[in-house]
Amino acid sequence: MKEEKFEFQYEVYNDISELDEKDAWLLTEARSVTEQAYAPYSNFHVGAVAMLENGEIVAGTNQENASYPVGICAERVLLGSVATIHPNVPVISIAISYSSDEVKSDHPISPCGMCRQSLLEYETRTKHPIRLILSGQVGKVYVINTAKFLLPFAFTSDELI
């Protein structure tokens, strides 16, 4: 028997002012686009904005439904749009933020398990890591260099061959 360890490094910034210009711009867009979320049930408005390898910007927001499981997260709305509008173009970075009338938006949130799986699949199919820039409307910012770090022991297409 031997023990193994999974760990990864990520960057922590005190606030948006410590980011470089491109990342700060992308995060500002993500913070702003939370206004487009349709979240009457959770009142948790999420915005995700991607910068693509071709320079294009694509945004997504969470879209809820009275039939709760029909709702879809901002990250998967975003990835579906990217894949449709710019097929096979790698995503360089995605900034993710949130807003709510009920809870403070002062710390980073990270993608749910289902979105982690989708992000990993997009990285794999485009053979390019996706940097994640995570932050609330104010406060600390986490930068994670690949979505793969968020899903150790992932189930992938390798298992289906």
Binding residues (CB under 5 A) for Zn ion: these are 73, 112, 115
- Specify the residue, 23 or 64, whose C-beta has the smaller distance to Zn ion: 64
Picking from 147, 97, 149, 135, the residue whose alpha carbon sits closest to that of residue 14 is 135
CB of 1 to Zn ion, least distance (A): 36
35 is catalytic: no
Could you tell me if 114 and 73 are in contact, meaning their C-beta atoms sit under 8 angstroms apart?
yes
CB of 148 to Zn ion, least distance (A): 16
- Specify the residue, 27 or 115, whose C-beta has the smaller distance to Zn ion: 115
Return d(Cα 104, Cα 81) in angstroms, integer. Answer: 29
Picking from 148, 117, 118, the residue whose alpha carbon sits closest to that of residue 131 is 148
Q: Cβ–Cβ contacts within 10 Å for residue 155, how many?
A: 10
Instruction: Find the catalytic residue in 35, 75, 121, 159.
Output: 75
CB of 55 to Zn ion, least distance (A): 26
- Specify the residue, 57 or 112, whose C-beta has the smaller distance to Zn ion: 112
CB of 46 to Zn ion, least distance (A): 8
Could you tell me if 154 and 48 are in contact, meaning their C-beta atoms sit under 8 angstroms apart?
no
Kindly report the CA angle at 99 between 45 and 56, in degrees rounded to 5?
70
- Specify the residue, 24 or 131, whose C-beta has the smaller distance to Zn ion: 131
| Active site residue ranges | 75
